[in-house]
Homo-oligomer: A and B are copies of this chain.
């Protein structure tokens, strides 16, 4: 039988912000967790949607035409091709669901790019 995943336990295994970790997969889609803290880079994912689910804390996803602020128990789907930038004034824990191979910085090369996220 399959093994369950405890989110707090997985978050206990890393502390750096902007370093997504893969904690599971559904077909060709991956479940990731990430610590969001500070300002990310503007980017888009040309071919794939991206789901953010806020688990703890608060974050904002900036778009070219406005901001969406999210708290614990809220989620947002960033549609494919849409420029966006996640930011957080203090650390926010989030779960991400997106197609395997999706790079965190999308079409923007950056020091924050994690091409092959670690599997926890």
Write the residues of chain A forming the contact surface with B, with a CB cutoff of 8 angstroms.
1-8, 23-27, 29, 31, 48-51, 53, 55, 63, 65-70, 73-80, 82, 95, 97-99
Contact = CB atoms under 8 A, between A and B. Distances in A.
Contacts of A67: 1
Contact of A49 (B27, B77, B97): B27
B98 A68 contact: no
A3 B76 CA distance: 7
Contacts of A48: 26-27
A2 B26 CA distance: 24
B26 A51 contact: yes
Given A27-B49, A29-B26, A6 B74 contact: yes
Q: How many copies does the complex hold?
A: 2
B51 A31 contact: yes
B2 A74 contact: no
Contacts of A98: 26
A76 B4 contact: yes
A5 B78 CA distance: 12
A7 B68 contact: no
A76 B5 contact: yes
Given A26-B49, A97-B97, A74 B31 contact: no
